[in-house]
Chains A and B, each alone.
Chain A
């Protein structure tokens, strides 16, 4: 506990100024559990009115960060700002604007779903009792609200957890693995509710999840954390665009012509081609996957017919590549390429 922050009186100076338009911002956030450091200078910026996908492998520090945001833990160093203003561990009233579901949903098992929300609503920000029925309806739990929580399935507890997080109509929702245990219908409903929350009500959602496909469908902005550090952050669309690629296969004898056409489609990005072996004829073009049809059309216009077309790179491949947690990235050539992906582009001229 060496930092001034941990003593609860003053703040460590932020490394970069905190934008008032950010719902959550951290600068140099450090948290240790004994000798293990869970967060090593986390700098993240969550814009207001967006869904922020907070991704990272197990033990990367996601839940620790969420616990710090909700005052459950004290940081060893660094700054957390909520809605543009630094937040201290003792500045609890700032949390009145925050709703959270951290880890597993926890309730009194002997009380009903609505009673749990009544006792929860008594703590923290003033809560309109009518809001209880409203949030239970939001998450589709209106019919089981009077039953004891101990009779609920994991998915139902999860729904109740989301309802509890939304209870005080917060401006910021922090959801840790909210899709845990939800059935497909529940996941769709959650997605729609969170979209309504951000797009229609202008509120902010931070969603930490292992379900990358779910985050990809929902998030506007993504932050990827690994070993306590943020390794990538930005708008999801831009991230997919930058990391996106389309693999296209042409006849070996047409690789030269095809290479010139493909290079014109993405002149500033490297172009990879394989001219020998089983994978011969494959090009990797670094463009957004949605441009696959454009590639096909351009080649077709030149009389070159692709024998294979694979739009690649989704959030999962970006995640695996950045965190190094995957052994094989599915859209990377698996056989020894004549031109390794890391090497300068080969026989395309």
Chain B
């Protein structure tokens, strides 16, 4: 516990923590207000559908920020050489890394709650500004919907952060971890979009050949680490899973929630396992 408390103190004192949080809140404000004014759609800010917008942000773009932050947080121990102090004091390497991960998980949980609270307030602000109906956040199943969104989205956020975390530990660098994490995050989206295009092209051929459109899948690329998380977020009340998911639902079946959750858990455990094994075997010079 003292290790986790120490890691939380590091997080609190890091300037990057507050920069990331302020950046996230700024982007949330911009996107919420822009979304409302552009589409003028009540659905975007009407609860429980409004939760989808917050989820898409918190676990979509928020996931990207989590990759960067997790990589920079753990990688900085190598950049500043402090990892040497900890290991030389006889601390268990795996315990140290797990404490770091636990502290990050706590920090992400707090950040998610803050984003949701601000998002809910923003829905009302947007409704008031543009004269759109908002409804109560407790409408329908109310708090249950909110809890479902958080419960389904949070593991996805952790899984994505774990990818950046593992890359930074393996490469022993915060910058390399953040860059590779971003490339991995965005690269997978590009790969998935390309493969989806190929599937679309194939389906178009079938339509021309008179076979009609037939749903297939899920395809293997839907199980890639970032993509599979989208299906979990989309399964939450009001969730659509983003633009790609909306397009692909006409072509391929989504990954079922239970399988998607298992895949997210596997990726999370795998990333942490790789990080722990890599750190345990590292010689520190």
Chain A's closest residue to B88 (CB) is: A70
Q: A95-B90, A107-B80 are in contact. Are A164 and B13 (CB under 8 A)?
A: no
Query: B92–A92 contact, CB under 8 A?
Result: yes
Asked if residues A71 and B87 are in contact (CB atoms below 8 Å), the reply is yes
Contact between A71 and B81, CB atoms less than 8 A apart: no
Chain B CB within 8 A of A256 CB: no
Some 27 contacts from A to B, beta carbons below 8 A apart, are A71-B87, A72-B283, A72-B285, A92-B90, A92-B92, A93-B90, A94-B90, A95-B88, A95-B89, A95-B90, A96-B89, A98-B88, A100-B88, A102-B88, A104-B81, A106-B81, A106-B84, A108-B10, A108-B80, A111-B10, A111-B13, A119-B6, A119-B7, A122-B2, A123-B6, A125-B89, A164-B85
User: What total count of A-B pairs have CB within 8 Å?
Assistant: 85
Where the two chains meet, the residues of A that have a C-beta atom closer than 8 Å to any C-beta of B are: 33, 67, 70-74, 92-96, 98, 100, 102-104, 106-111, 115, 118-120, 122-125, 164, 168
> Which residues from 265 to 285 on chain B have a C-beta closer than 8 Å to any C-beta of chain A?
283-285
Further pairs besides A72-B283, A98-B90, A124-B89: 19, Cβ < 8 Å: A70-B87, A72-B284, A73-B283, A94-B90, A95-B90, A96-B89, A106-B81, A106-B84, A106-B85, A107-B82, A108-B10, A110-B13, A111-B10, A120-B85, A122-B3, A123-B3, A123-B96, A124-B91, A125-B90
Question: How many of chain B's residues touch chain A, expressed as a range?
Answer: 20 to 34
CB of B14 within 8 A of chain A?
A: yes
Given A92-B92, A106-B84: A119 in contact with B283 (beta carbons within 8 A) = no
Return chain A residues, CB-CB under 8 Å to B3: 122-123
- B residues contacting A by CB (< 8 A) are 2-3, 5-7, 9-10, 13-15, 76, 80-82, 84-92, 96, 283-285
In the complex, which residues of chain A have a beta carbon less than 8 angstroms from the beta carbon of B9?
111, 115, 118-119
- Closest chain A CB from B107 CB (angstroms): 15
Q: Is the CB of B84 within 8 A of A102?
A: yes
CA distance A72 to B85 in the complex (A): 10
Taking the nearest CB of chain B, how far is it from the CB of A267, in angstroms? 50
Residue in B76, B80, B86 whose CB lies within 8 Å of A123: B86
Given known contacts A106-B84, A108-B80, A120 and B89 CB-to-CB distance under 8 angstroms: yes
The residue of chain B having its C-beta at the shortest distance from the C-beta of A120 within the complex is B85
Contact of B10 among A95, A104, A119 (CB under 8 A): A119
- A115 and B88 within 8 A (CB): no
- B284: A residues at CB distance < 8 A: 67, 72-73
Q: Are B80 and A71 in contact (CB-based, < 8 A)?
A: no
Q: List chain B residues, Cβ under 8 A from A120.
A: 85-86, 89
Q: How far is the CA of A240 from the CA of B5 in the complex (A)?
A: 51
Contacts of B80 in A (CB 8 A): 106-109
Residues of B within 8 A of A71 (CB): 87-88, 90
